[in-house]
A and B are shown apart, each in its own frame.
Chain A
Amino acid sequence: MQEPTFLILTALAAGAQHGYGIMTDVARISDGRVRLRAGTLYAALDRLKADGLVTGDKEEVVDGRLRRYYRITDEGTAKLAAEVRRLRANAAVAACRLGLAGGTA
């Protein structure tokens, strides 16, 4: 799973969000390291929707502008959880080999 995909799913794991909310949340989660732009975000959302990992939620109009919310599906949650397990296992091995605290392998 690529990092932007991981971060988008992570942003949605806390609850449904609109496009701009996802962009700001991804920047917050990654400590400003990853800044999604609209083209990248909507191409990723399009792919995630096609893969059944994300689905559209409610819509609202704020200041005359349409906002559509997106939420993670059960399949998306399962995929994100699997990725978390994989990353955690890899990190544990790396930490152990580097002699850092918390390593298990």
Chain B
Amino acid sequence: MSVTANRESRMERRYRRLLALYPKDHRREHAEEMVGVLLAADGDAPVRAPNPAAWARRFGRHTADMADLAGGALRIRGRVALNRIRRTRWLSVTVRDRRWSDALSVVSVIAPLLLLIAALTEFRIPQAVASSITGHPHWGVSATLGLADLPMAAGAPGVILLVFLGLRRLAALGALATAIGQIAAGAVPAFAGYADPAVAFTVLLSCTAAVALLFSPGPDRGLALLTRSGTALVGAGALILGGFSLGGDAWSAGQVAGLPADLLIAAVLITAAAACLRGPVSRRALALLAIPVIPYAFLWQEKLAADLFGQPGDGSAVIPSSIPLLYLPPLLLASLILTGTWFARRRAGERDRQVGSATSGPRSAMSA
């Protein structure tokens, strides 16, 4: 066997091993032609006398081909998985509704924005800004980064960057990875982190962002609905919330501007909710954003109780947070949204059928 044939069979084996990453159906249909294309491209490259530079070039080309093959498998598998989720009845019913789809678009802008601000609070950046504005000497920027902070510190800016680049699905996967990263970080020590409302808030916010990015027409549509001034208002509101409230170990390090800050946070939340109640799309966006905001409310009442009755972290919270209390209400709300839209859709379908039979009835009688 010649040297070229030997190299070809070695490469073919490597390519075939990588093709195992592709879904079975795709492999059955395209594996042979893909191997043919890869070997043809390989054979087309200039073959020179063996020297280190030529070897390095060939090695680089093969590595790039293999990375590209793995990337292609990931893209196809991602698309297959996404289509499978989209075909499920519950989701397709919700997403087909124009008002819900618009609300998801709005949330696909707001949730990554909130995620970024929540990540900044890990470094106390909004708190330091709020501190300098109010003159309350409570926070300075913190540069410490623990292992548990990594998913948010890397994930949130990554999601925003991908949204900005228009890579909506990748951004959704990034948000999902951020949620999974936080869940993994919370598992050490086992489950201790999950009962923390700040963790529950960021985990659920990441999940909400992922769902909105995956199942909405995208942030472009959301920005068109929000308008620039609306987006700026949301950003300002989120900065106020971040500046005076949440963030990792915020509670053990002292009060954050005391009772006036609690009232300011409540005022921002109530104003935002009242403004959202006016329109059908914003009402739906409010319902979707309420999913992560429920644990945030727990965080708020813990701070309020500490400001009114005692020291932070001394267990003076009116409602002590626990895993069921933090995660069950958001889960119930999500289930309510899905069942509500399903029933609404079914009612609309029945109404359409009744109207259809009412209008076709006389016509068929006339034709008969």
Which residues in A have some Cβ–Cβ distance to B below 8 Å? Answer: 18-20, 23-24, 37-43, 46-47, 50, 65-68
Q: Could you say which residues of chain B place their CB within 8 Å of the CB of A24?
A: 44
A68 contacts B73, C-beta separation under 8 Å: no
Name A46's closest neighbour in chain B (CB-CB).
B76
Q: Could you say which residues of chain A place their CB within 8 Å of the CB of B34?
A: 19, 38, 42
**8 Å CB contacts to A: which residues of B37-56?**
37-41, 44
State A4–B268 Cα separation when bound (angstroms): 46
A66 contacts B33, C-beta separation under 8 Å: yes
With an 8 A cutoff between CB atoms, is B68 at the interface?
A: yes
Which residues in B have some Cβ–Cβ distance to A below 8 Å? Answer: 26, 30, 32-41, 44, 64-65, 68-73, 75-76, 79
Which single member of B32, B64, B76 contacts A43 (CB below 8 Å)? B76
State A23–B34 Cα separation when bound (angstroms): 12
B interface: dominant SS: helix
Task: List 6 interface pairs A-B (beta carbons < 8 Å), by A numbering.
Answer: A38-B69, A40-B71, A42-B34, A43-B75, A43-B76, A50-B79
B76 contacts A38, C-beta separation under 8 Å: no
Most buried by B among A18, A39, A65: A39
A interface: dominant SS: helix
Name B75's closest neighbour in chain A (CB-CB).
A43
Q: Could you say which residues of chain A place their CB within 8 Å of the CB of B79?
A: 46-47, 50
B64 contacts A37, C-beta separation under 8 Å: yes
Extra contacts besides A19-B33, A37-B41, A43-B72 (15): CB < 8 Å: A18-B33, A20-B37, A37-B69, A38-B68, A38-B69, A39-B65, A39-B69, A39-B71, A39-B73, A40-B71, A42-B26, A42-B76, A43-B75, A65-B33, A65-B35
